[in-house]
Amino acid sequence: MQLLALNGPNLNLLGSREPGLYGTSSLEAIRDDLSERAMALGVELAWFQSNHEGALVDRIQAARGQSSGILINAAAYTHTSIALRDALLAVAIPYVELHLSNTHAREPFRHHSFLADRAVGVICGFGPTSYRLALEGLVDHLRSRS
Ligand code: DQA
């Protein structure tokens, strides 16, 4: 089983970006930890980060026929992007939305997600552990269906 982890804008700055909110782990450290977890669960993990909405749409489209599930931290695009929602629905790949911070405990404009209502589940607020929880949830979900 191959899964895809997608990361949106500004997540490449994790480690130095607002550490009080997002912690001190770099995105590379999160990726390495998640790859290890994926290996332990017996799944392959592809990884992608972009600051550009269209590049994320292209990567979602490229996952068609390749990935059985998607983990997505769309960052600010979560709250703005109908294009990402449409791409996820177009490829019809089950996805889990995740965030490092608890978006519901932050500014009102972060309370709405264009992705959440069609996600398998949503995880937020656990820092880098959100990635692990999302991975476990998605793998359990996919295995229970097959
Ligand atoms: C985020 C939350 C978003 O609201 C924000 O725009 C981000 C990061 C998170 O992981 O907590 O860039 O997705």
Atom of ligand 1 nearest to the CA of 98: 10
Q: Ligand 1: list residues with CB < 6 Å.
A: 10, 73, 75-76, 78, 99-101, 103, 110
- What pLDDT band is residue 146 in, cutting at 50, 70 and 90? confident
Per DSSP, the three-state class of 102 is coil
Q: How many CB atoms lie within 10 A of CB 95?
A: 27
- Cα three-residue angle 99-100-105, rounded to 5 degrees: 80
Residue partners of 34: CB distance under 8 A and separation at least 6: 5, 45, 47, 131, 132, 135
**115 Cα–ligand 1 center, Å:** 13
Q: How many CB atoms lie within 10 A of CB 65?
A: 7
How far CA 66 is from CA of 3, 17, 60, 106, 131, in Å, comes to 8, 32, 10, 35, 21
Q: Mean pLDDT throughout 64-89? A: 98
Residue 145 has pLDDT above 90, yes or no: no
- How high is the pLDDT of residue 47? 98
pLDDT tens digit sequence for 11-20: 999 999 999 9
From CA 100, how far away is CA 86, in angstroms rounded?
23
